[in-house]
Structure 1
């Protein structure tokens, strides 16, 4: 009798647990299906499996499809700014409210807001854009610990491959505002810096918000990286730092690019 009660309780506990779920491109996977590997890992790992759907020629077609889908969805977007920040930023925190206000200010200027489509600071920026009646875009990515786009994304695309997603951020943004974040945020920041430094994109403002968070990184770049000659001191001018979110938005919104993007307030 005791054993039966314990089994019943375990079953109730199991039923109360949220189903593990994640996205694989446009596909939603739950429970056992969610344990399948990510598309990026299939691409980057060397495999012995010669099934055609696991071969590089097949993946080239899938990669091509991601670019075609992204270009098609975003071609008519118009001027846009990307806002990056941590997925772990908690709702109601100071950083969340900052991201929300940034999204609102960008949208109020008639510019679309693009984020990674996830929770945290990304969700906040999308929410701010929606509250201002603007265009809220989310470019999601297949990850083992995220389940899809946040509820404030109006135009969303889910990608399998990071490099296809990064291309969309740069191609359809006129600048980046970067809030405190982790590896993903740093990856996007340094990707943009590399493209500007090598003149793959020009007139592309990159603004960091949060002096106390970013200053140690900038000091390391100046006192170690530039001091060693790995970058020039002038490369540090590619980054602008502020605690004033209105200043950050003003910098990116009013910066021109070769396509003639200038927003008038």
Structure 2
């Protein structure tokens, strides 16, 4: 199925020779009359044989574009490179856009194990076990394509990351608070970005999804979700509850989830409209934090969240990405007693420019004001 490009993701100057949809292909052929030096990415061209047989394709690159054999032979002879689709994969390594929840959870009615998300994780486990170099290359190509699509999606956006653990259960006050945080950030004009998984991540994406609706909608949605509080023991039931909410309120606000198949036991949450899912967790972690240009809010979490705090602190400390971005840690007891991360972060920041960009607050409701105060 040909994906639909996000309405708010225009091409930038650096991408003005990329073609990522059939509509773009037709527009370029009609207006420019040439495909020379264009990059055509994951577009089904089986119905465009006449165009491929007639226009100049010198220096063009076709990445995973199905086309008739006569067309493929002709464009190769004209000087184009053709990378054909790879058969029998549960994902497209050349895809031009980030994922949607409907794509990753397709066939959920047959159980989560039948979805592209689960099948992609199973493929990863199989190919990692046998050390197939071709599979390694496909994973790298896929992740680079996802990064490219994510960059295009977020052009001009003020992105605030919300980080937190996957263990936060639906039906708890902590989950409701994280959802209210996501809603307030979205209503303030920020693009909410999370690690894309369950728990605190899902709650923040849910809040952004609820932003266009009245406050009662979020309360009702939280009650519906509470019937499947965790993604264990059944991811299927957990996901179906989320899609029930989406079905009842179909016009939710956008946000971004950036999960990974590295943590295959954690499914992506269906409330992020745009899901940039990676095979390589290191690429995903660095990319997620680097794109949070307006700051990051860290909710209580465990090892993964601690890692994210210092992954974010390092470029702020060295100013390797320019001016430090705001960091707000939520829950004083958690970050000073249970996992005493705050004292070390504060010691690192002392007498550096990032010192004015970090804050510790007691409750979630204080986070938006702290973010604003720090310049987010």
Do these two structures clear the TM 0.5 threshold for a shared fold by scoring above it?
yes
1:82–1:64: structure 2 CA closer, same or farther, 3 Å change rule? same
Which residue of 202, 209, 221 corresponds with 2:330?
209
Is residue 22–residue 145 contact of structure 1 (8 Å, CA) maintained in 2? no
Query: Cα offset for 1:135?
Result: 2.9
Larger Rg: 2
Per-residue CA shift, 1:143-179, capped at 9, x if unaligned? 22123x2121112221111232223323331101001
Correspondence 1:67-106 to 2 at 5 A? 67-76=147-156, 78-106=157-185
2:146 match: 66
1:192 match: 312
1:221 match: 344
1:240 match: 359
1:119 match: 198
TM-score normalised over the length of structure 1: 0.70
2:278 match: 159
Which residue of 157, 170, 189 corresponds with 2:289?
170
Greater relative contact order: 1 or 2 (C-alpha under 8 angstroms, separation 6 or more)?
1
Is residue 255–residue 272 contact of structure 2 (8 Å, CA) maintained in 1? yes
- Structure 1 segments unaligned to the other structure (5+ residues): 1-17, 257-261
Higher strand share: 1
1:75–1:171: structure 2 CA closer, same or farther, 3 Å change rule? farther
Query: Cα offset for 1:88?
Result: 0.7
Moved over 6 A (4+): none
Instruction: Measure, in 1, the Cα distance between the counterparts of 2:126 and 2:359.
Output: 35
Instruction: Measure, in 2, the Cα distance between the counterparts of 1:214 and 1:194.
Output: 18
